[in-house]
């Protein structure tokens, strides 16, 4: 039974409100290589994708945006750091994913990776996109 005390007692509108299921798709996974390297969460929205990469702690150090190039002209993708100094390579990853997915990609990094773990993270994300494309496109 619903609590009617949260609804206004005075009717202010005669419009019918229809609730819709969200078009956003959320997907979470972990990348392992003997031990856990990072946790990844993706939020697929209409026309763009946001990927957060980090640890259990929800930290935000670097944010980058990758924009795909024009398909007709065959231009390459571009990326820029929006927050932080991008020492983690968020802009490079955003550019490569934007090229592959043909949509704007936001990369949020809560952890920095070295030259050994960075390729493992990128490969793990690519494998997850192949296995579950409906969460990324």
56-97 pLDDT per residue, tens: 887 888 999 999 988 765 578 899 999 988 776 899 999 999
Which H helix or E strand runs over 121?
helix 117-131
Residue 11 lies in a domain: no
CATH of the domain at 121: 3.30.230.90
The SS3 assignment for 97 reads helix
Residue 58 contacts residue 109 (beta carbons within 8 Å): no
Residue 105 lies in a domain: yes
Residue 39 contacts residue 73 (beta carbons within 8 Å): no
Residue 13 lies in a domain: no
Q: What is the mean pLDDT of residues 39-62?
A: 92
Residue 15 lies in a domain: no
Residue 35 lies in a domain: yes
Whole-number Å distance between alpha carbons of 66 and 97: 8
Whole-number Å distance between alpha carbons of 91 and 63: 8
Residue 51: pLDDT band with limits 50, 70, 90:
very high
Domain count, the chain: 1
The SS3 assignment for 80 reads strand
- Angle at which helices 90-101 and 117-131 cross, to 10°: 20
1-34 pLDDT per residue, tens: 455 555 556 666 777 878 888 889 999 999 999 8
Q: Which domain does 52 fall in, by range?
A: 26-71+83-135
Q: What is this structure's pTM?
A: 0.81
């Amino acid at each position: 039974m619903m609590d009617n005390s949260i609804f206004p007692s005075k009717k202010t509108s005669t419009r019918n409100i229809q609730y819709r299921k969200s078009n956003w798709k959320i997907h979470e996974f972990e990348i392992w290589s003997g031990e856990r390297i990072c946790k990844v969460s993706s939020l697929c929205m209409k026309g763009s994708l946001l990927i957060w990469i980090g640890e259990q702690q929800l930290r935000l150090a670097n944010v980058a945006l990758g924009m795909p190039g024009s398909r007709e002209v065959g231009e390459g993708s571009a990326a820029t750091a929006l927050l932080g100094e991008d020492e983690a390579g968020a802009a490079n990853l955003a550019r490569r994913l934007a090229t592959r997915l043909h949509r704007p990609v936001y990369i949020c990094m809560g952890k920095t990776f070295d030259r050994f773990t960075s390729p493992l993270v990128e490969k793990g994300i690519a494998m997850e996109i192949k296995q579950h494309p409906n969460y990324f496109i």
